[in-house]
């Protein structure tokens, strides 16, 4: 915005000169065939000079910084005789003064402040005058910030020959603009180059913004740094820099940059500017259904509902509806009605009827109903529902009826001893109250106690003799749990250890996993034919390891004299239980490389990570790959046994004198159920972040696939000779790096095939990671073809540099290239980087794959 233009005023400004009548003078001249007015001074031959030219008072307005553009000529002092007597100058000075009022002709030099000394770029010499080739100079200066209502400019001549052809005073502003569907008003530029004026914009019609749009106006009148944006409302789409309504038959559901979409199936044509299309009659849309999905309807009734009865139990079966209504969330609900044929009375089934699953929201196509009454007709109604059934008055049901004539006897829930004499016992028991009407008699059976058989010796036969009579109508068989114990061979000088005798049912005791075989062999020992049971036992195990304990029928207060009194185990901490559970798990493992109890084996070279650091650079690639193959084989065995290790790391791999690696430390191991999608969820405890898969960190769900991720980290540890994964990054930084897609770079001299296998193990989606069986197969092929290990992996330095940091260093945690190379154990490449021009971290980050 121009505040003053001397050239356009055509000499009508009437500027003040001092001293009056001398010095500066207003003249007419011809330039480029045009008549112009100029202010000129040229008193170079009159000694010392101080001539002032002051403008009129100029109203500032909204300007904060003004720009002064000068067009002038300066004559060469050498073109004057005797060079102007020694007082000739080729420069002049520019001043300004602020004021709130016009002082008229009152000129006070002390009020003015110097802006600059103006020197020409080109000087007009004598020959230029002869050829009428005047050298024109243009200079621009700025002043600010200005605070008074107006200001003056003044020009000081100290003995130069100067002609002012043009003086133009203006300020800058950012123009009004429409950007990002937001209008920004005209704005005066900032005070200086470092200041940006923030300007709020206004969204166009039918547009909104979560964050108010803004632009920044700089000192040069340019718009910079946009913030926020405007988006078209639902029902409107962006066309150019405006929002237009969606045409009929289309819709737009959200505030976004997306365009309008045609209405989906089973909807009615929408009006203009629609955010959704209405559903056809009989079709509905659930609250969670996106507007872009077709409208759906309730399902048809279930098909083939059948009821098969067996005593007081009924198996209900049905098939899915022929029409699910266009949805995949069909569920089933079951209601029951019971009718008595004698009276014809019917009512809903009472709470005593039990279902194998909750009869509401079933996703399967079958259920078992129990505890039904005899001589009653039952009608079962199966209703199919989906997400829009609530909005329809029609029910999709199918029914079936079954008559229950006979039911099985009720279940006795508990038996207690109320009294006893030398020849009798007084017993009582409980039956659910609602089932007592179905009982017409009770039958009580008993068995007699026999002496325990113990102290069996190897290769010595032992007979079992019953001491009571055996009328076939009285004595029932006796259940004899067989506990098999492992007896170690001891030197003659020592006595065999005493093994505990257990009265518990045949199972693996968690407190004594080394005493009991995990699979005891129970059999029915008949008092009249005991040899049958012994023969059955000998078919499975050696007689030297048999300990027979008869099942006592005495109440808890009557104990066998040959058995020690029961001992309550002492309270145990959660950590102790974890240790015992780990020991019990190891007891189940039996792998061909003996011994199978690896906790007892002495591994001469100790932990793998420490061993590799001590032997750095001493092994060939084939030896390292052989170690990896041994670890993978062990993990393949664990995976096939449905075990997840959860703490696979080089520190938990032991190495013997033949460089054979074996998996150890099962402190975090857990068994998985026999299911391809089985997971183990932990409720707490520490997790080794650097070795753990991202889904296990985030959701604490462990699978064999999470062990595969950990195996990839172990591969990296082996190929880098025990280097710490992710170096000095904190656990938080490691998690952030993994979630942003970063992976460890290839170690030095790592074969490309090995690094590719690492990257497969580190797939974000666990289903895409290889199985341990696949890993063993791949490593076997690489070992049989050593030439495949000669190609080395490309080293990308940007991977390790760009690992994110929470230290505020913008993701570049290294200050110099040598520091970074030292951190990744590659200082030998420092000279190569420097010689190639990569002297700073920023230049390394700009490297490409080529």
pLDDT digits (tens, 9 = 90+) for 374-390: 888 999 999 999 999 99
Q: Starting at the earlier edge strand, list the strands of the sheet with 354-355.
A: 303-310, 313-319, 366-370, 354-355
Asked if residue 76 is part of any domain, the answer here is yes
Residue 257: band (very low, low, confident or very high) from pLDDT cuts 50, 70, 90: confident
- 103-107 CB contacts, 8 Å cutoff, 24+ apart: 103/57, 105/16, 107/16, 107/18, 107/52, 107/54
Cβ neighbours of 10 (radius 10 Å): 11
Q: Per-residue pLDDT for 758 more than 90?
A: yes
The reply to whether 771 and 672 lie within a common domain is: yes
Q: Lowest mean pLDDT: which of 177-181, 515-519, 544-548, 609-613?
A: 515-519
Q: Per-residue pLDDT for 574 more than 60?
A: no
Section 778-792 average pLDDT: 92
User: What CATH number is associated with residue 361?
Assistant: 2.60.40.10
Q: 796 or 116: whose pLDDT is higher?
A: 116
DSSP letter for each residue of 189-258: PPSSTT--EEEE-EEPTTEE-SS--EEEE-TTS-EEEEE---EEPTTEEEETTEEEEPPTTEE--SSBS-
- Tokens representing 43 are 């008193």
Q: Per-residue pLDDT for 805 more than 60?
A: no
The separation between the first and the last C-alpha atoms of the chain, rounded to the nearest angstrom, is: 52
Asked if residue 640 is part of any domain, the answer here is yes
Q: How far apart are CA 364 and CA 375, in angstroms?
A: 29
The reply to whether 149 and 197 lie within a common domain is: no
Q: Per-residue pLDDT for 445 more than 90?
A: no
Q: Per-residue pLDDT for 727 more than 50?
A: yes
DSSP at 723: P
Q: Per-residue pLDDT for 360 more than 60?
A: yes
The reply to whether 31 and 167 lie within a common domain is: yes
Return the pLDDT at 21. 76
Section 307-319 average pLDDT: 89
Section 418-443 average pLDDT: 74
Residue 486: band (very low, low, confident or very high) from pLDDT cuts 50, 70, 90: very low
Section 547-573 average pLDDT: 43
Asked if residue 792 is part of any domain, the answer here is no
- Tokens representing 619 are 């092994």
Residue 340: band (very low, low, confident or very high) from pLDDT cuts 50, 70, 90: confident
* CA distances, 382 to each of 174, 298, 402, 759 (Å): 73, 14, 14, 51
Q: Per-residue pLDDT for 233 more than 60?
A: yes
Q: Can you give the pTM of this predicted structure?
A: 0.40
Report percent pLDDT > 90 for the chain: 34
* Phi, then psi, of 386 in degrees rounded to 5: -140, -165
Return the pLDDT at 464. 46
In the three-class reduction of DSSP (H, G, I as helix; E, B as strand; rest coil), residue 748 is classed as coil
Q: Lowest mean pLDDT: which of 52-66, 280-294, 399-413?
A: 399-413
Return the pLDDT at 590. 57
At how many degrees (to 10) do helices 772-784 and 621-640 cross? Answer: 150
The reply to whether 320 and 197 lie within a common domain is: no
Residue 607: band (very low, low, confident or very high) from pLDDT cuts 50, 70, 90: very high
Asked if residue 560 is part of any domain, the answer here is no
Residue 355: band (very low, low, confident or very high) from pLDDT cuts 50, 70, 90: very high
Asked if residue 801 is part of any domain, the answer here is no
Annotated catalytic residue within 647, 665, 707, 794 = 647
Q: 449 or 708: whose pLDDT is higher?
A: 708
* Phi, then psi, of 680 in degrees rounded to 5: -120, 125
Q: Per-residue pLDDT for 165 more than 90?
A: no
Q: Per-residue pLDDT for 276 more than 90?
A: yes
Q: Lowest mean pLDDT: which of 247-261, 660-674, 806-820?
A: 806-820
Half-sphere exposure of 379 (CA within 13 A, CB side): 13
In the three-class reduction of DSSP (H, G, I as helix; E, B as strand; rest coil), residue 95 is classed as strand
Structural domain ending residue among the three candidates 335, 369, 404: 404
Return the pLDDT at 219. 81
The reply to whether 166 and 197 lie within a common domain is: no
Q: Per-residue pLDDT for 704 more than 60?
A: yes
Structural domain ending residue among the three candidates 232, 249, 275: 232
The reply to whether 662 and 717 lie within a common domain is: yes
Return the pLDDT at 568. 45
Q: How far apart are CA 623 and CA 615, in angstroms?
A: 12
User: What CATH number is associated with residue 88?
Assistant: 2.60.120.260
Q: What is the pairing mode between strands 173-174 and 137-143?
A: unpaired
User: What CATH number is associated with residue 203?
Assistant: 2.60.40.1770
Residue 14: band (very low, low, confident or very high) from pLDDT cuts 50, 70, 90: confident
Count the residues in the chain.
850
From the list 469, 501, 467, the residue with the least C-alpha distance to 484 is 501
The total number of structural domains in the chain stands at: 4
Return the pLDDT at 208. 92
Highest mean pLDDT of the ranges 110-124, 794-808, 824-838? 110-124
Section 671-690 average pLDDT: 55
Q: Lowest mean pLDDT: which of 214-228, 271-285, 813-827?
A: 813-827
The reply to whether 39 and 130 lie within a common domain is: yes
Asked if residue 252 is part of any domain, the answer here is no
Return the pLDDT at 722. 93
Q: How far apart are CA 722 and CA 655, in angstroms?
A: 13
Residue 519: band (very low, low, confident or very high) from pLDDT cuts 50, 70, 90: very low
Q: Is 76 a catalytic residue?
A: no
Section 785-796 average pLDDT: 83
Asked if residue 561 is part of any domain, the answer here is no
DSSP at 175: P
Return the pLDDT at 602. 80
Return the pLDDT at 740. 84
Q: Per-residue pLDDT for 99 more than 80?
A: yes
Residue 571: band (very low, low, confident or very high) from pLDDT cuts 50, 70, 90: low
Q: Per-residue pLDDT for 521 more than 90?
A: no
Return the pLDDT at 472. 40
Q: Per-residue pLDDT for 483 more than 50?
A: no
* CA distances, 2 to each of 62, 149, 218, 327, 776 (Å): 12, 16, 18, 70, 81
Q: 77 or 320: whose pLDDT is higher?
A: 320
The reply to whether 190 and 75 lie within a common domain is: no
Residue 591: band (very low, low, confident or very high) from pLDDT cuts 50, 70, 90: low
Residue 80: band (very low, low, confident or very high) from pLDDT cuts 50, 70, 90: confident
Residue 130: band (very low, low, confident or very high) from pLDDT cuts 50, 70, 90: low
Residue 848: band (very low, low, confident or very high) from pLDDT cuts 50, 70, 90: low
Q: Lowest mean pLDDT: which of 297-306, 410-419, 509-518?
A: 509-518
Angle in degrees, CA 488, 493, 497, rounded to 5: 35
The reply to whether 136 and 211 lie within a common domain is: no
* Phi, then psi, of 794 in degrees rounded to 5: -65, 135
Alpha-carbon dihedral sign for residues 553, 558, 564, 565: positive
Q: 307 or 64: whose pLDDT is higher?
A: 307
Q: Per-residue pLDDT for 154 more than 80?
A: yes
The reply to whether 14 and 128 lie within a common domain is: yes
The reply to whether 138 and 23 lie within a common domain is: yes
User: Which burial class, exposed, middle or buried, applies to 217 when counting CB atoms under 10 A from its CB (0-12, 13-18, 19+)?
Assistant: buried
Q: What is the mean pLDDT of the chain?
A: 77
Residue 189: band (very low, low, confident or very high) from pLDDT cuts 50, 70, 90: confident
Residue 397: band (very low, low, confident or very high) from pLDDT cuts 50, 70, 90: very high
Q: Per residue in 46-60, is it b (16+ CB within 10 Å) or e — as a string? A: eeebebbbbbebbeb
Instruction: With residue 8 as reference, give the H or E element that holds it.
Output: helix 6-9
Q: Per-residue pLDDT for 717 more than 90?
A: yes
Q: 403 or 484: whose pLDDT is higher?
A: 403
Whether the CB-CB separation of 286 and 388 falls below 8 Å is answered with yes
Q: By residue range, what is the domain housing residue 113? A: 2-171
The reply to whether 160 and 189 lie within a common domain is: no
Asked if residue 337 is part of any domain, the answer here is yes
Structural domain ending residue among the three candidates 404, 437, 465: 404
């Amino acid at each position: 915005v121009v505040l003053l233009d001397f050239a356009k005023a055509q000499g009508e400004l009437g500027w003040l000169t001092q001293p009056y009548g001398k010095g500066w003078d207003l003249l007419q001249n011809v330039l480029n065939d045009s008549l112009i007015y100029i202010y000129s001074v040229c008193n170079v031959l009159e000694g010392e000079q101080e001539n002032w030219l002051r403008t009129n008072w100029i109203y500032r307005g909204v300007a904060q910084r003004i720009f002064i553009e000068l067009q002038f000529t300066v004559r060469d002092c050498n073109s004057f005789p005797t060079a102007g007597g020694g007082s000739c100058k080729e420069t002049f000075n520019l001043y300004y003064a602020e004021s709130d009022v016009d002082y008229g002709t009152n000129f006070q030099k002390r009020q003015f402040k110097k802006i600059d000394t103006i020197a020409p770029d080109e000087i007009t010499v004598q020959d230029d005058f002869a050829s009428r080739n005047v050298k024109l100079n243009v200079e621009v200066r700025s002043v600010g910030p200005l605070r008074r209502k107006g200001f003056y400019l003044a020009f000081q001549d100290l003995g130069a020959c100067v002609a002012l052809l043009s003086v133009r005073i203006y300020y800058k502003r950012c123009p009004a603009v429409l950007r990002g569907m937001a209008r920004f008003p005209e704005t005066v530029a900032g005070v200086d180059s470092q200041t940006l004026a923030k300007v709020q914009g206004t969204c166009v019609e039918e547009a909104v913004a979560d964050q108010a749009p803004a632009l920044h106006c700089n000192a040069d009148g340019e718009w910079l740094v946009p913030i926020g944006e405007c988006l078209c409302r639902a029902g409107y789409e962006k066309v150019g820099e405006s929002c237009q309504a969606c045409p009929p038959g289309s819709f737009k559901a959200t505030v976004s940059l997306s365009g309008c979409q045609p209405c989906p199936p089973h909807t009615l044509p929408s009006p203009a500017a629609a955010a959704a299309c209405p559903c056809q009659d009989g079709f509905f849309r659930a609250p969670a259904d996106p507007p872009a999905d077709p409208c759906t309807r309730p399902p048809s009734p279930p098909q083939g509902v059948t009821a098969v009865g067996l005593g007081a139990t009924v198996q209900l079966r049905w098939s899915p509806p022929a029409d699910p209504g266009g949805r995949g969330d069909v569920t089933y609900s079951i209601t029951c009605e019971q009718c008595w044929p004698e009276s014809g009375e019917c009512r809903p089934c009472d709470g005593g009827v039990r279902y194998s699953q909750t009869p509401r929201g079933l996703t399967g196509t079958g259920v078992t109903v129990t505890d039904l009454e005899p001589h009653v007709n039952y009608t079962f109604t199966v209703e199919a529902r989906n997400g829009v059934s609530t909005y329809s008055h029609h029910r999709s049901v199918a029914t079936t009826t079954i008559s229950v004539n006979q039911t099985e006897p009720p279940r006795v829930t508990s038996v207690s001893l109320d009294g006893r004499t030398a020849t009798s016992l007084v017993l009582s028991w409980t039956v659910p109250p609602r089932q007592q009407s179905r009982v017409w008699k009770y039958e009580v059976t008993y068995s007699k106690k026999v002496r325990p058989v113990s102290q069996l010796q190897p290769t010595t036969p032992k007979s079992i003799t019953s001491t009571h009579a055996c009328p076939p109508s009285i004595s029932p068989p006796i259940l004899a749990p067989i506990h098999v114990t492992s007896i170690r061979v001891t030197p003659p000088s020592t006595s065999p250890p005493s093994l505990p005798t257990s009265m518990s049912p045949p199972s693996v005791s968690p407190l004594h996993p080394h005493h009991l075989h995990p699979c005891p062999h129970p059999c029915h020992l008949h008092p009249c034919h005991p040899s049958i049971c012994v023969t059955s036992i000998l078919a499975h195990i050696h007689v030297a390891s048999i300990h027979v304990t008869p099942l006592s029928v005495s109440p808890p207060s009557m104990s066998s004299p040959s058995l020690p009194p029961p001992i309550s185990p002492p309270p145990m901490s959660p950590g102790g239980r974890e240790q015992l559970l780990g020991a019990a798990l190891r007891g189940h493992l039996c792998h061909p490389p003996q011994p199978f109890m690896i906790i007892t084996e002495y591994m001469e070279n100790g932990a793998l990570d420490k061993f590799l650091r001590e032997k750095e650079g001493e092994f060939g690639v084939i030896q390292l790959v052989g170690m990896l193959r041994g670890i993978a084989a062990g993990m393949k065995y664990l995976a096939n046994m449905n075990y997840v290790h959860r703490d696979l790391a080089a520190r938990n791999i032991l190495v013997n004198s033949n460089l054979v690696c074996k998996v150890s430390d099962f402190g975090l191991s857990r068994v998985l159920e026999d299911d391809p999608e089985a997971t183990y969820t932990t409720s707490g405890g520490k997790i080794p972040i650097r070795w753990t898969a991202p889904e296990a960190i985030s959701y604490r769900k462990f699978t064999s696939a999470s062990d595969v991720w950990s195996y990839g980290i172990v591969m990296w540890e082996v190929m880098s000779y025990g280097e710490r994964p992710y170096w000095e990054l904190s656990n938080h930084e490691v998690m952030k790096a993994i979630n942003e897609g970063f992976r460890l770079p290839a170690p030095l001299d790592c074969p490309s095939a090995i690094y590719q296998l690492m990257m497969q193990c580190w797939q974000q989606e666990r289903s895409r990671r290889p199985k341990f069986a696949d890993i063993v197969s791949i490593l076997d092929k690489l070992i049989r073809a050593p030439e495949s290990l000669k190609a080395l992996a490309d080293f990308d330095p940007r991977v390790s540099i760009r690992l994110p940091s929470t230290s505020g260093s913008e993701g570049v945690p290294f200050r110099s290239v040598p520091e970074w190379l030292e951190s990744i154990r590659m200082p030998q490449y420092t000279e190569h980087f420097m010689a190639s021009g990569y002297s700073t971290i920023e230049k390394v980050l700009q490297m490409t794959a080529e």
